[in-house]
Structure 1
Amino acid sequence: MSEIKPVSGDFEQQPLRTYAERAYLDYAMYVVLDRALPHVGDGLKPVQRRIVYAMSELGLSAASKHKKSARTVGDVIGKFHPHGDSACYEAMVLMAQPFSYRYPLVDGQGNFGSPDDPKSFAAMRYTESRLAPYAKTLLAELGQGTVEWVPNFDGTLKEPKLLPARLPNVLLNGGQGIAVGMATDIPPHNLREVVSACIRLLEAPKRTTVAELCEHVPAPDFPGGPEIVSSREDLLNLYETGSGGIRQRAKWEKEGEEVIVTALPHQVSPAKVLEQIAGQMQAKKLPWVTDLRDESDHEHPTRLVIVPRSNRVDVDQLMDHLFATTDLEKSARMNLNVIGLDGRPGVRNLKDLLVEWLEFRRRTVTRRLEFRLDQVVDRLHILDGLLIAYLNIDEVIHIIRTEDEPKPVLMERFGLTGTQAEAILELKLRHLAKLEEMKIQGEKDELEAERKQIEAILESPKKLTRLIRDELMEDAEKYGDERRSQLVERSAAQALKETDLVPSEPVTVVLSENGWVRAAKGHDTKPEELNYRAGDEFLAAARGRSTQTACFLDSNGRSYSLIAHELPSARSLGEPLTGRFSPKSDAVFKSVAIGAPEDRVLMASDAGYGFVTQLENLHTRQKAGKQMLTVPAGSDVLPIAPVTEDEEAVIVCATTEGYLLAYYLSEVPELAKGKGNKLINIPPKAKKAGEKMAGAIVIAAGEDCLVWAGQRYLRLGWADTENYWGERAQRGRKLPRGFQKVTRLSLAE
C-alpha cells in the first residue's frame, strides 16, 4: 500500500483504491460491531442497549408510571444514538412485543403491533412505555462498578459499553441481524433450561459436551408456542455447529367438526396463512374446506377456524396437506453469530457460547465484589475514625471550638487520616448521642463480616462459582416459566396430490375444431348437441373421471395434459387450449383422451403408421407440450383411440379409398413415443394419388365399429371383421360400394 503524500497544509493525496478499501472496511466494521450483531455479554445491539439504559435514566422502571414513547426516543437519539427516530422507535417496539421477544424488555401501553403485522404499531406520540420487570436483570448491577463507561457520540455524557446481564439474554431473547458479509439468527430459548445448562457447565466445565447440554436445552422456545418437529439428531447437530434450521409446526385441535389453530410458527402472520388457504380454495385445489375465520382476540391471541366440508373429511390428512403447502409449517434459521469478549464476531456452538457468557458473568461478579469491597474498606476506615472521636468526645469538641484549623490538629492528636478527620468534622450534633456510638459499632461489626465474606469469595474460585450458580438459580426462580414450544418429532408433511383433493366424478371432456375445451358432468352428455361459438363445431370427446388427466394431441404430434377438474364447465362455451398451453403457431389441436395413467391408447398418423402406448406417457407439465408421435411430412395425426384389455381385441384400419384391414391388437408394438410401425399398407402410387389412412380403432369381442363415408356409415361387428382379416401392414380388402370414400372410423355406442 503506497504512502500518503502531503500536498499542502490542509490536503493529502492517496490512491483511490487505498481510500475505497479503507472506507469500505471502516463501514463494514461499523455495521458488524455497532449495528447488526449482538454482544455475547448482554445479548443486545447498541441501539437496544442505549434504549434500555436511557429508560433507566428516565426512571422508567417496572414500578413507575408509563411515559410517552416519544420522550424515551428523544432521549435516546439526543444523548446516545444519533440516528433516525423511526428506526429507534421500531427497535423499542420490537422489545415490547410479546410475540417477538420471549422475555420482553419493554412494557408497552397502546398499539404496539400485532402478529398479523408487527409493524402496524401506532406512532410514538400515541404510545407509552416503561421497562419490563425482566429488564432488571440487565440493569440491577449497573452502578456497582461492573462495566466500563465510554463517552457518548459528542463526548458530553458517559454510557455503558455493555450492560451487566445477570442472565444469558443472548440466548433467551435471541435476535436477528444482517451485517456486511455475515448475519445472525438466534432463536429465543427458555430461561429455566438455559440456566440449568449454565449450572451444568459451572459444575463440570471441561467434561460437559454439547450433547449433554442439549439434555437441558433440547430446542429453542418460541413465544407463540408452536410445535418443534425437527428430529433430535437435527437439533443436536444444530447446536454442535451453531447453524442450521428448525422446523416448526402450528398447533391445532378439533372442536366439534371444526379445526382450531391455536399457535403458529414464530413470526408467521395469521392473515398470510388464511390468505394462502383461501388461495387454494379459490383455485379449486382445496374442496375439503368450506369456510375460514379468524377469531383471535385478547383471550385467544391465535384462533384460526378451518371448517371442513363434512365430517367424512380426514382432518389429519387435510392438516398434513396444509402443513406442506402453507406457512402452518415453517423452518426458522439458526446462526449463533455474536460478538465475543475479544470484540470479534464469530459463529459459536452452544457450549462455546455459554462458556463465553459465563466468563463474562464471572468477570462481572468479580468487579462487583471488588467494587463493594472497596466501599466496605472505605466505610470501615471512616467508622474507625468516628469511634476514636466518640471515645474522646470532650477533647474533640474542645479542639473544634478553640482551633481555627481543627482538621490538622485532630489528625495529629489522634493519628487520624484526612478522610477520617473530615468525617468527624461533618458530624451533626444529633449524632453525638451514646446510642449513635452503639450503632456505629454494630455497623462496623456487620461490615467486618461482609469484608471477610467478600475476600473469601474473591480468594476462592469455587466460592465465586457457587455465588454465580446461586444467583442464576434465584433469577431463574423469579423470571423463569414453563416451556411453550413442545418437542414432537414428526415426519415431513406431504402435500396431497391434486387428484386426492378433488371428488372423483364422471366427466365428458369436449374439444372443438378451433381448440376450445370444456368438461361436462356425467357421461350422458351428447357433445354434438352443445352450443359452440360462431364458426366453430364439435371435434372430439372423451369420457373419464374428474380426478384423471386429460391429454390433448396437436397436429405436430405433441401431447399436452391437465387435470380434468381444472377445465371450465360445459355450461359455458369453454376456453381455448392456447390459453393453457404454448403450441407452435402452425399446430392445431386434433384429439383428446382421458383415463388412468396405466390405460393404453392407440396413436397413429394418416401415413399409415402407429403404436400403442400408456396414457401416462402423454402426461407432461410443460406448457410447450411433449413430442409423442412423429408425423411424416405432409401427413396429419388421427384421433387417439382407446385400447381395450380384451385378449381378443382387434385393430381395424381403413384408408380413404375404401380399403379395410383387421388383425389382432397384439401385432402392434407398444412404444413410449416415436413414429410407430406400419399399420396398413398404402402403395406409393396410391400415396401419390392422395390416399391416406382414414382411421384406426380397437374393438373387443361383442363391440361394433362404424365406418363413415360422409354422413353414411357401415356397422361392422367383431365377427364381421373376419371378411377383412389379414396381417399387420397388409393392403386389406375393399369395402362395399358406397363406402369406398371413407372419412373416419368410430366405435358404435
Structure 2
Amino acid sequence: MSETIVIGADGVEQIPLKSYTEKAYLDYSMYVILDRALPNIADGLKPVQRRIVYAMSELGLKSNAKHKKSARTVGDVIGKFHPHGDSAVYEAMVLMSQSFSYRYPLIDGQGNWGSPDDPKSFAAMRYTESKLTKYAEVLLSELGQGTVDWVPNFDGQMDEPATLPARVPNILLNGTTGIAVGMATDIPPHNLREVVSACIHLLDEPNASIAALCEHVKGPDFPTDAEIITPAEDLRKMYESGRGSLRMRALWQDEGEDIVITSLPHQASGSKVLEQIAQQMQAKKLPMVVDLRDESDHENPTRLVVIPRSNRVDKQAVMNHLFATTDLERSYRVNMNVIGLDGRPQVKGLDKILTEWLEIRTATTRRRLEFRLDKVLKRLHILDALLIAFLNIDEVIAIIREEDQPKPVLMSRFGITDTQAEAVLELKLRHLAKLEEMKIRGEQDELAAERDNLELTLGSTRRMKTLVRKELLAAAEEFGDDRRSPLVAREEARAFSEEDIVAAEPVTVILSEMGWIRSGKGHEIDPLSLSYKAGDRYKLSARGKSNQPVIILDSTGRTYTVAAHTLPSARGQGEPLTGRINPPSGVGFMGMMMGSDEGHYLLASDAGYGFIAKLSDLQSKNKAGKAALTLPKGALVLPPVAIADMASSHVVAVTTEGRMLIFPVGDLPLMPRGKGNKMIGIPSARVANREEYVTAVAIFSERDTLKVISGKRHLSLKFSELEHYLGERGRRGHKLPRGFQKVDALQTIAAGK
C-alpha cells in the first residue's frame, strides 16, 4: 500500500488517517492472532499458557515440589514474560488446573479452583496454591537440551522459549478455544493413547488417509463420562476438513421410579440444567415430572434426580424431551485453526496436524541428539587431555610449578588444545588417585559408545523414526488412560409436542349457532341439553381427546385449528370462536372434526363433488385458516363426514330430486385440498340455478344400517336392501321410494346398536 508522508513545518511526519488506522489495526490483528488467541501446533499452547508453564518450571514448581502461592507464579509471569492483567493470567492458570476443563491438566492446584457447576467460582490467587502436574513433564523435560529456539522477552532483559518441546501432540490432547480478529479456534480434547497410536501409524504410513487415522482416533475425548452421539461419518468429515460440530448427551440411569443423571456434557452446569427443567415444570410443559433433587456430593460429582409423576411415565420419552430442550445435550463447534509449521494460522485436518507435529517432533529429537552429541564430543576431547595428564603427571606438575606461563608449554609439549590445557590446569589434586585412570578410560568407553549410537541415529532416517516411535510409546505408557467419553449412536432427541404434554382425556366440543365454543369432559354429554345464551342454540359438536386439535370447516371451504385442551369448560357458555380464529366476515361454520392425525374425513360440496382428506392435512397454525374445499359456482359446503374404515366403507349421496347413489369410498381420491371428483351426477347449470343439488351424504359399511329421514318419516335399510342404488361414482343414481323424494338427512346406525 503506497502512502504519502508529508513532513510538516515543525518537522513532524504527517500521514493520512486512513493509512495509519489500517496499519494500526492490521498490526493489532496479527498480534492477537499470533501472540494471544491461537495455539501453536508444536506444543498446543497459547503464549500466556506457555509462559505460565515455563515460569513455574523456573520457580522449581515441578510435580515433586511443594505447592506455592499462585500469586507468586502470576507475579513472575506478568513481571518477566506477559505484561498484561493479573486476572487474565490467573484465569488461564485456573483453566489449566481444572480436571473438568482440561483432559490432561498441566497444573496441580490446592484450594478452591472452581467446580464443574461453576468454573468461575475459584478463589483469589492469594489463597490458592499450585505446582506443575506430572503430565507437564512432556512439555518441559527436553527444554534445556537445545531443542527449541529462544526469543527475548518483552523488555529484552531475558529470553523465553518460542515453543516448548512437547513429546506428545498436546494440541489435540487438551484442545483449546480462542477468539482472534477475524478468526477463531475450537479444538476438542482427545485421548492420548489414541492420538499416539495414530502418530505411529502415520510414521509407518506417511500417506495414510483420514479413514485410516480414524481407526485409531475414534473421536474427541472430553473430561466427562457423557456420550458423544455424533455419527462416525460426521466425525470423519470433521477430521477431513478441520471444521464441523459434535453433540454430547448426558448419561442417566433408571433407579426404581426415579431418573438419575450421572454425567453431564462438557462444561454443562448441573444447577442450570435443574433450573431449565424447573422452568418447564412451572410453565406446565412437563406435567409428567413432579420433583427434582440435586444429590451431587464429593463421591458423586453429578447426581441429578428427576422424579416422574408415576411409574407409568415413559422415562425414555421424558429424557428425549429433556435432551432436546435442556443442556443435557449440547453441541460443540469444531474449528481446528492453529499456527502451523510456516508460522501462519490455518484450519487443518487431522492428517495435516499430525503430519506437521511429527515433523516438529522429529526436528526436536534431532536437535536434542545433536546437542547431546556436541556435549559428548566436548567431554571426550577433555578426557583425552586428562588421560594424557594422568599418564604424565610428574612432568605436568613440574611444568606447572616451574613455568610462568604453563598453558602454552603444556599445549606445545603434549600437543593439546587450549580447551584441553585449561582442563588440565583446573584438575583437582583428589583426581590424581590411582583409580582415576580406570574412571577416565571407563567414561571414555561409555561416551564413545554413546557417540557412535548418536551418529548412527542422526545419520539414519529409519533409526530416527524408531526413536520417535519408542518415545511416543513411552509417553503413552506413562501418561495414557482409557477413553472417558464413549462414542454411541443415538436417535435424534425429540421434544414433547403440545399434544404429548396434555393428558388424553375424552372430551366433547360444542359450537353454538352464534359461534360460541366450549369443551366438556367425556363423550356422554348431550349438547342439546346444555344452556345457551338468549337467542342462541346448539349447532355443531365433535367428540375426541383433549390432546387432539379441533378442526372447524367454514362455509367458504376453509379450515381452522383450535387446541381442545385450551377451550373453556362446558359448565359455562363458552367464548366466541372468532376470538381464536380470524375467518372472513359473514361466514358460517359447517362442521367440526376431531381425531388422530391419520383419521380420514369426506369433504364435499352440494354440487356433488368430494374427496377424502387426512386430518393432518387440514390443520393450520394460521388464524386465518387454510383453503381446503374448493366450491364450484353456486355450490355450498356440506358437513364433513368421518370415515372409520377406508377399506370397507361406502359413500351415500342423495339429491333434492330424491336420487340416491352408493359407491365405494376408495373411488374418491385422497387429497390435502381441492374440489374433488364427481360423486353423483348433477348438471352444473342445475346446481348454479339451485334447481338440483345434494342434500345429504353419509358413510356406512356393509354391516351398518342406513336410516333415510324425510320430514317425520324415516326408512331403515340394510346393505342387502340397497343393491338397487349401488353404482359407479359419478352416475345419476336411482330414485328413492315415493314419500322419500325430499330427504332431510341420512344417518348411519352401526351394527349392534
The answer, yes or no, to whether TM exceeds 0.5 is yes
Separation in 1, partners of 2:159, 2:126: 27
Distance 1:316 1:16, change over 3 A: same
Report if the CA contact (8 A) 2:604-2:638 is conserved.
yes
The aligned residue for residue 225 of structure 1 is 225
Q: Counterparts in 2 of 1:154-193, with a 5 A limit? A: 154-193=155-194
Q: Which amino acid aligns with 1:301?
A: P
Distance 1:623 1:140, change over 3 A: farther
The aligned residue for residue 202 of structure 1 is 203
The aligned residue for residue 81 of structure 2 is 80
Distance 1:483 1:616, change over 3 A: closer
Separation in 1, partners of 2:587, 2:392: 120
Separation in 1, partners of 2:84, 2:584: 59
Separation in 1, partners of 2:170, 2:201: 18
Separation in 2, partners of 1:465, 1:255: 52
Instruction: Name the stretch that deviates more: 302-311 or 349-358.
Output: 302-311
| Cα displacement (A) at 1:220 | 1.9
Instruction: Name the stretch that deviates more: 96-105 or 139-148.
Output: 96-105
Q: Counterparts in 2 of 1:530-545, with a 5 A limit? A: 541-545=541-545
The aligned residue for residue 507 of structure 1 is 507
Q: Counterpart of 1:23 in 2: which secondary structure?
A: helix
Distance 1:516 1:427, change over 3 A: farther
Distance 1:530 1:283, change over 3 A: farther
Separation in 2, partners of 1:219, 1:184: 18
Report if the CA contact (8 A) 1:559-1:626 is conserved.
yes
Q: Deviations over 1:507-545 (max 9, x none)?
A: 123557897765433223466888999999987643211
Q: Counterpart of 2:594 in 1: which secondary structure?
A: strand
Distance 1:58 1:569, change over 3 A: farther
The aligned residue for residue 139 of structure 1 is 140
TM-score computed with the length of structure 2 as normaliser: 0.79
Report if the CA contact (8 A) 1:4-1:12 is conserved.
no
The aligned residue for residue 34 of structure 1 is 35
Structure 2 runs not aligned, ≥5 long: 683-687, 718-731
Q: Which amino acid aligns with 2:180?
A: A
| Cα displacement (A) at 1:152 | 1.5
Q: Counterpart of 2:221 in 1: which secondary structure?
A: coil
Report if the CA contact (8 A) 2:186-2:333 is conserved.
yes
Separation in 1, partners of 2:271, 2:661: 62
Separation in 2, partners of 1:516, 1:85: 69
The aligned residue for residue 304 of structure 1 is 304
Separation in 1, partners of 2:117, 2:518: 40
Q: Which amino acid aligns with 1:178?
A: I
Report if the CA contact (8 A) 1:665-1:698 is conserved.
no
Q: Which amino acid aligns with 2:144?
A: G
Separation in 2, partners of 1:718, 1:163: 98
The aligned residue for residue 125 of structure 1 is 126
Q: Counterpart of 2:185 in 1: which secondary structure?
A: strand
Report if the CA contact (8 A) 1:513-1:590 is conserved.
no
Report if the CA contact (8 A) 1:702-1:718 is conserved.
no
The aligned residue for residue 114 of structure 1 is 115
Q: Counterpart of 1:595 in 2: which secondary structure?
A: coil
Q: Counterparts in 2 of 1:436-515, with a 5 A limit? A: 436-493=436-493, 499=499, 502-510=502-510
The aligned residue for residue 711 of structure 1 is none
Number of aligned residues:
728
Report if the CA contact (8 A) 2:44-2:170 is conserved.
yes
Separation in 2, partners of 1:118, 1:577: 52
Q: Deviations over 1:110-132 (max 9, x none)?
A: 33333333333333333332222
Q: Counterpart of 1:245 in 2: which secondary structure?
A: strand
Report if the CA contact (8 A) 1:613-1:673 is conserved.
no
Separation in 2, partners of 1:368, 1:349: 28
Instruction: Name the stretch that deviates more: 126-135 or 310-319.
Output: 310-319
| Cα displacement (A) at 1:215 | 1.9
Instruction: Name the stretch that deviates more: 152-161 or 614-623.
Output: 614-623
Report if the CA contact (8 A) 2:707-2:746 is conserved.
no
Separation in 2, partners of 1:98, 1:221: 13
Distance 1:99 1:718, change over 3 A: farther
Q: Counterparts in 2 of 1:607-618, with a 5 A limit? A: 614=613, 615-618=615-618
Q: Which amino acid aligns with 1:349?
A: G
Separation in 2, partners of 1:95, 1:388: 54
Q: Deviations over 1:131-177 (max 9, x none)?
A: 22111100111111111111122222211111100001111112223
| Cα displacement (A) at 1:103 | 1.0
Q: Which amino acid aligns with 2:470?
A: D
Q: Counterparts in 2 of 1:266-281, with a 5 A limit? A: 266-281=266-281
Separation in 2, partners of 1:107, 1:468: 28
Q: Counterparts in 2 of 1:499-578, with a 5 A limit? A: 499=499, 502-510=502-510, 519-525=519-525, 541-552=541-552, 558-565=558-565, 567=567
| Cα displacement (A) at 1:109 | 2.5
Q: Deviations over 1:394-415 (max 9, x none)?
A: 4544554555554445444444
Q: Which amino acid aligns with 1:445?
A: D
Distance 1:124 1:153, change over 3 A: same
Distance 1:116 1:576, change over 3 A: farther
Q: Which amino acid aligns with 1:130?
A: K
1:94 aligns with 2:95: yes
Separation in 1, partners of 2:619, 2:392: 110
Distance 1:498 1:346, change over 3 A: same
Separation in 1, partners of 2:19, 2:209: 46
The aligned residue for residue 46 of structure 2 is 45
The aligned residue for residue 151 of structure 2 is 150
Distance 1:272 1:515, change over 3 A: farther
Separation in 2, partners of 1:534, 1:141: 96
Instruction: Name the stretch that deviates more: 574-583 or 449-458.
Output: 574-583
Q: Which amino acid aligns with 1:210?
A: I
| Cα displacement (A) at 1:293 | 3.2
Separation in 2, partners of 1:584, 1:87: 63
Report if the CA contact (8 A) 2:643-2:649 is conserved.
no
Q: Counterparts in 2 of 1:285-296, with a 5 A limit? A: 285-296=285-296
Q: Counterpart of 1:136 in 2: which secondary structure?
A: helix
Separation in 2, partners of 1:536, 1:144: 98
Distance 1:312 1:696, change over 3 A: same
Separation in 2, partners of 1:161, 1:343: 11
Instruction: Name the stretch that deviates more: 329-338 or 312-321.
Output: 312-321
Report if the CA contact (8 A) 1:602-1:697 is conserved.
no
Q: Counterparts in 2 of 1:403-442, with a 5 A limit? A: 405-442=405-442
| Cα displacement (A) at 1:219 | 1.9
| Cα displacement (A) at 1:192 | 1.0
Report if the CA contact (8 A) 1:602-1:610 is conserved.
no
The aligned residue for residue 71 of structure 1 is 72
Q: Which amino acid aligns with 2:126?
A: R
Distance 1:536 1:294, change over 3 A: farther
Q: Deviations over 1:457-510 (max 9, x none)?
A: 212222222111111111110000111223333444455665456553211235
Q: Which amino acid aligns with 2:481?
A: D
Q: Counterpart of 1:96 in 2: which secondary structure?
A: coil
Q: Deviations over 1:348-376 (max 9, x none)?
A: 33222211111100111111111122222
The aligned residue for residue 360 of structure 2 is 360
Q: Which amino acid aligns with 2:199?
A: C
Report if the CA contact (8 A) 1:699-1:705 is conserved.
no
Separation in 1, partners of 2:308, 2:506: 23
